[in-house]
Amino acid sequence: MSQIFHEIEKKIINSLQKKLEQTPEQLSESTELSIDQIRRGIEWLRLKGLAQVNESSKVTISLGKNGIDAFKNGLPERKLMELIKDTPKTFDDVRTMLSGVGFNAAIANAKKNGWIKIDKTDSGTKISTKEKPVETPEEKLILFIGEGTISEKQIENKLALKFLLERPDYLIQSTQKIKIITLTEKASQIDTTLSDSGAIDVEADAALVYAARTHPLKDTIDEIREIFVKLGFSEIQGALTQSSFWNFDALFTPQDHPARELQDTFYIENVKSENHASSTQIKEVSKSHSQNWHYDWKLSESQKMVLRTHTTCATIRYLAEQKPDQARIFSLGRVFRNEKVSYKHLVEFNQIEGIVIGNNTTLRDLMGIQKEFYKQLGLTKIKFWPTFFPYTEPSLQTMVYNEKLGKWIELFGMGIFRSEVTKPLGIDKPVLAWGGGIERIAMLKYELDDVREFYNNNLNWLRSV
């Protein structure tokens, strides 16, 4: 697995691969990074499960004020022995010569060591050497510590340590928390391929973070929805499964129309739609078909359930139920067609669809709305082309120029609902309608020439757009 590491992480890993256990301070030294950078780097590596931090405490010893004096000039008992080396001295002499400080300690320790003897004479109490004063363990310890700081563990003679600790200001004992950093097994294998330069490249690329994001197709859907809302439209919804009645018959699509054939439409097996329309609606639609298309309209054919092939079923149902005098409505959602999947066709895709109903609405208004919609999407090179739908007259097709492909792409279909559609359902105002595929628009937006890319879950592409 390849991973992207920050320069700081690389240096820490590299150093720990060479020397397995290090404190942050040691790492700072070996990597030439500041202690703050080291702390940050350790934390990143720890979160990635690449480094471990073991905390332990360490007791250290250094000399205090009296200890330093003893290191330089000897312990008071040693000073005392110097004073009486040649001739015995009285208590008073010694007290003044030792200038009082440490006098009691000097006597007590020299006695304890068996170095002196004390005799009461006529001229006062005399102190004289009893035994040659050999170097004591305490003296050895003071020399060993010297002016540095050592770990308590290094001291072998614990008794000497105990005695010195009991004497005032000889030793400073402190407890330090230390962190030992090690790499986890995973990290010891990592090849950081560190450059030889010890300098930190402040312009190096930061690790890329791919935060969660919405799918580009979802972004397009949201954008389109927002444009229609801004243009004063309200959204309606429809079910994905529909009776053939609303998907086809109500839209004046004859029962032998090729679009209704099995190779174009997904039918739901063994389900018959009941009560999807009123008896008047069924009677009037049936009449419209028989009279105008001249064939024998069958109820059973209209009861077949389908996966909706367009969103126009939602539109026509809304019109039949609400019969509004004035409205701006849109509907958006998934539709299904039994197509061979290719670079421009999917079996499931999304459509947007809208209607305007009101007084004095003309085809020109419809074209104006289309132009405005495309403009908001940044598409300005458009033209209208005559086409055919069973339910609109006249019928137009919008074409948009795709600069990248260098060709005209068919986008929305539109027209004015025929009276053969509206009259049977009791709608007597002219209805402007249009609709089309959203993936096509998204393809233009993302400059794709294969619609399947939206569903490929290609992370590289998804991250790049």
Candidate segments 32-40, 214-222, 399-407, 433-441, binder of ligand PHE by CB under 6 A: 433-441
- Closer residue to ligand PHE (CB): 97 or 399: 399
Task: Quote the CA–CA distance of 147 and 167 in Å, as a whole number.
Answer: 18
Rounded to a whole number of angstroms, the minimum distance from the CB of residue 235 to ligand PHE is: 16
Rounded to a whole number of angstroms, the minimum distance from the CB of residue 436 to ligand PHE is: 6
Binding marks (x or -) toward ligand PHE, 395..424, rule CB under 6 A?
------------------xxx---------
Which residue type does 323 have? K
Rounded to a whole number of angstroms, the minimum distance from the CB of residue 386 to ligand PHE is: 12
Question: Does 41 contact ligand PHE by CB under 6 A?
Answer: no
Binding marks (x or -) toward ligand PHE, 282..321, rule CB under 6 A?
----------------------------x-x---------
- Closer residue to ligand PHE (CB): 115 or 417: 417
Rounded to a whole number of angstroms, the minimum distance from the CB of residue 336 to ligand PHE is: 11
Task: Quote the CA–CA distance of 257 and 11 in Å, as a whole number.
Answer: 72
**φ, ψ for residue 210, nearest 5 deg:** -100, 95
Candidate segments 50-58, 102-110, 434-442, 450-458, binder of ligand PHE by CB under 6 A: 434-442
Residues 53-72 that bind ligand PHE (CB under 6 A): none
- Closer residue to ligand PHE (CB): 31 or 395: 395
Question: Does 434 contact ligand PHE by CB under 6 A?
Answer: yes
**Of 81, 248, 435, 451, which lies in the binding site for ligand PHE, with binding defined by CB under 6 A?**
435
Angle between helices 76-83 and 65-73 (to 10 degrees): 30
Task: Quote the CA–CA distance of 35 and 26 in Å, as a whole number.
Answer: 9
Task: Quote the CA–CA distance of 216 and 224 in Å, as a whole number.
Answer: 12
Q: How far apart are the first and last CA of the chain?
A: 25
**Of 353, 420, 439, 453, which lies in the binding site for ligand PHE, with binding defined by CB under 6 A?**
353
Rounded to a whole number of angstroms, the minimum distance from the CB of residue 446 to ligand PHE is: 22
Task: Quote the CA–CA distance of 269 and 35 in Å, as a whole number.
Answer: 72
Rounded to a whole number of angstroms, the minimum distance from the CB of residue 297 to ligand PHE is: 21
Ordered DSSP codes for 23-77:
-HHHHHHHHT--HHHHHHHHHHHHHTT-EEEEEEEEEEEEE-HHHHHHHHH--HH
Number of CB atoms found within 10 A of residue 412's CB: 24
Task: Quote the CA–CA distance of 159 and 115 in Å, as a whole number.
Answer: 19
Question: Does 245 contact ligand PHE by CB under 6 A?
Answer: no
Question: Does 236 contact ligand PHE by CB under 6 A?
Answer: no
Rounded to a whole number of angstroms, the minimum distance from the CB of residue 347 to ligand PHE is: 14
SS3 162: helix
SS3 151: strand
Which residue type does 434 have? W
Question: Does 392 contact ligand PHE by CB under 6 A?
Answer: yes
Helix (H) or strand (E) holding 410: strand 407-417
Which stretches of the chain bind ligand PHE, using CB under 6 A?
310, 312, 353, 389, 392, 413-415, 433-436
